[in-house]
């Protein structure tokens, strides 16, 4: 608070400025790759970009692009284009936004260049199959699907052997499509950089355990871009190192991202990219979301270090036990661990209309947390990318009532 009792504006991270340059550089490289006739690949987030950096094939993640559409609040207009082409309004808003750009040539960065190929994996969302097939038909792009059987907790035994064989098939197919041969020594170097960055990301997440927490959920979600699209590159490591050092300085100085931090909450699922200001507005009530499940998908508890000696098998283990490829027990164990480590008072389960695989088990997860740990949970209906699917007033009312529940339990 200021001397007049007014709350000061949220202090943003200096690293956010360099992040803008990093993202601009990434998209500049995408368009330069196309203009120079070099190969590029569209990947879904369950496919490691490290293979493609090692083969000098530019990796592009349409999910990241969809988030940019959401942040700029243009998903509804791009969705209208997709729907005019026969795609349902009930599809994921990432799908609708990206296909809207593909069909119209309009979007945050203009017309996206046609990729050389596409690779998807079955370890995330079945909607990817609809998405990639639509792009395949529109642009006649060759497409490869990595099969990843569902597992209970870990990918091991025959399941692990199978996913490793799928990765080897993928590599051979990409080599045949592009003429680029995977050099294992080059892959090991990319993996080394990827591991270095993931270790720093782990430190960033751990620094949020401090009381008061040094950053907000809006900060951490904003800085997820390099974790998805730039793993294994020097600029990814340099950016994360600067981010960690700035946050560590805040902790050392006792800096509070939320003045008078009163409620330490956990956010489950993707955030509303179009309304990250929601977290800032809640800060005025002393609320900070000190940890989240989505950031863990690229963190130490789901995507730990990859074995540099045998990266293919290690990647197979990661891909086979991805965030949405395991049974509910592992999701619950993750929540329980985070609640304990971060001193969480309550969990907000974002029931995301566009991400049904992530959302369907939230009712059961909320029940188990309440019964086993006495931690209350709120189911908050919305969408990660389409602002027309979030009733801000109703959500705010629910959140205020939830804070009262937490107060009543103290």
**DSSP 3-state assignment of 183?**
coil
Residues 6+ apart with CB under 8 A from 216: 10, 257, 258, 279, 280, 283, 288, 289
What per-residue confidence (pLDDT) applies to 7?
54
In terms of phi and psi (left: phi > 0; alpha: psi -120 to 50; beta: otherwise), the region of 115 is beta
How far is the C-alpha of 276 from the C-alpha of 331, rounded, in Å? 24
Residue whose C-alpha is closest to residue 46's, from 167, 192, 178: 167
Share of the chain above pLDDT 70, in %: 98
Asked if the domains at 15-185 and 187-409 fall in one CATH topology, the answer is: yes
What per-residue confidence (pLDDT) applies to 8?
58
How far from the centroid of its chain's Cα atoms is residue 13's Cα? 19
Residue 3: pLDDT above 90? no
How far from the centroid of its chain's Cα atoms is residue 394's Cα? 26
Give whole-number Cα distances, 327 to 18, 163, 319, 361, in Å.
38, 18, 14, 10
> What CATH number does the domain located at 187-409 have?
3.40.50.11900
Residue whose C-alpha is closest to residue 397's, from 377, 375, 374, 378: 378
| DSSP states along 306-363 | PPSSSHHHHHHHHHHT-TTSS-HHHHHHHHHHHHHHHT-SEEEEEEETT-HHHHTTHH
What per-residue confidence (pLDDT) applies to 180?
97
Residue 183: pLDDT above 70? yes
Look at the alpha carbons of 235, 240, 241, 245 in this order and tell me if their dihedral is positive or negative.
positive
What per-residue confidence (pLDDT) applies to 2?
36
Residue 6: pLDDT above 60? no
Q: Which residue has the higher pLDDT, 84 or 301?
A: 84
Hey, how many other C-beta atoms are within 10 angstroms of the C-beta on 391?
12
Q: Which residues of 203-224 are buried (b: 16+ CB within 10 A; e: fewer)?
A: bbbebbbbebbbbbbbbbbbbb
Segment 284-314, tens digit of pLDDT: 999 999 999 999 988 777 777 899 999 999 9
What per-residue confidence (pLDDT) applies to 300?
72
Contact 374, 344 (CB under 8 A): no
Contact 183, 244 (CB under 8 A): no
Contact 239, 20 (CB under 8 A): no
Segment 357-377, tens digit of pLDDT: 899 999 999 999 999 999 999
Q: Which CATH number fits domain 15-185: 3.90.79.10, 3.40.50.1950, 3.40.50.11890, 3.40.50.1000?
A: 3.40.50.11890
- Bridge partners of 351, per DSSP, are 381
Q: What is the mean pLDDT of the chain?
A: 94
Residue whose C-alpha is closest to residue 60's, from 46, 38, 42: 42
Q: What are phi and psi of 8, to 5 degrees?
A: -75, 155
Q: Which two tokens stand for residue 218?
A: 């809006």
Segment 212-257, tens digit of pLDDT: 999 999 999 999 999 999 999 999 999 999 999 999 999 999 999 9
Q: Where are the domains of the chain?
A: 15-185, 187-409
How far is the C-alpha of 65 from the C-alpha of 112, rounded, in Å? 10
How far is the C-alpha of 64 from the C-alpha of 318, rounded, in Å? 20
Segment 16-49, tens digit of pLDDT: 999 999 999 999 999 999 999 999 999 999 999 9
How far is the C-alpha of 208 from the C-alpha of 295, rounded, in Å? 12
Residue whose C-alpha is closest to residue 267's, from 378, 390, 397: 378
Q: Which of 39-53, 68-82, 191-205, 317-331 has the lowest mean pLDDT?
A: 317-331
Residue 405: pLDDT above 80? yes
Q: Which two tokens stand for residue 14?
A: 């200096």
Give the CA angle between residues 25, 30, 35 to the nearest 5°.
Answer: 120
Contact 173, 51 (CB under 8 A): no
Residue 171: pLDDT above 90? yes
What per-residue confidence (pLDDT) applies to 5?
42
């Amino acid at each position: 608070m200021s001397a007049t009792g007014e709350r000061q504006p949220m202090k943003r991270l200096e690293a956010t400025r360099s992040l803008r340059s990093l993202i601009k550089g990434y998209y500049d490289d995408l368009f330069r790759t196309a203009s120079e006739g070099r190969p590029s690949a569209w990947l879904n987030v369950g496919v490691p970009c490290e293979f493609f950096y090692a083969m000098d094939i530019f990796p592009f993640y349409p999910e990241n692009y969809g988030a940019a559409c959401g942040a700029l609040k243009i998903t509804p207009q791009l969705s209208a284009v997709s729907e005019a082409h026969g795609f349902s309004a009930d599809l994921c808003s990432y799908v609708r936004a990206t296909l809207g750009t593909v069909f119209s040539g309009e979007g945050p960065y203009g017309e996206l260049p046609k990729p050389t190929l596409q690779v998807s994996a079955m370890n995330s969302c079945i909607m990817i199959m609809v998405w990639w097939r639509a792009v395949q038909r529109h642009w006649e792009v060759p497409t490869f699907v990595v099969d990843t059987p569902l597992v209970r907790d870990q990918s091991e035994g025959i399941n692990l052997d199978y996913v490793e064989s799928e990765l080897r098939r993928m590599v051979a197919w990409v080599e045949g499509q592009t003429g680029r041969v995977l050099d294992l020594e080059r892959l090991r170097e990319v993996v080394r950089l990827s591991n270095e960055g993931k270790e720093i990301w782990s430190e960033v997440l751990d620094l949020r355990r401090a009381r008061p927490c040094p950053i907000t959920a809006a900060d951490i979600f904003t800085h997820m871009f390099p974790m998805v699209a730039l793993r294994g590159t020097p600029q990814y490591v340099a950016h994360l190192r600067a981010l960690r050092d700035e946050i560590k300085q805040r902790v050392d100085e006792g800096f509070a991202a939320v003045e008078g931090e009163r409620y330490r909450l956990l956010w489950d699922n993707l955030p509303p990219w179009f309304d990250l200001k929601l977290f800032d507005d809640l800060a005025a009530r002393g609320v900070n979301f000190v940890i989240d499940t989505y950031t863990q998908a690229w963190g130490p508890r789901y995507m730990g270090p990859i074995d540099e000696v045998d990266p293919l098998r290690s990647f197979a283990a990661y891909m086979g036990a991805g965030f949405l490829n395991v049974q509910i027990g592992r999701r619950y164990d993750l929540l329980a661990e985070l609640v304990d480590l971060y001193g969480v008072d309550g969990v907000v389960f974002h029931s995301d209309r566009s991400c049904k695989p992530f959302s369907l088990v939230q009712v059961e997860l909320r029940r188990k947390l309440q019964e086993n740990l006495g931690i209350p949970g709120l189911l908050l209906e919305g969408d990660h990318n389409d602002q027309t699917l979030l009733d801000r007033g109703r959500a705010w009312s629910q959140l205020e009532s939830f804070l009262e529940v937490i107060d009543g339990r103290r």
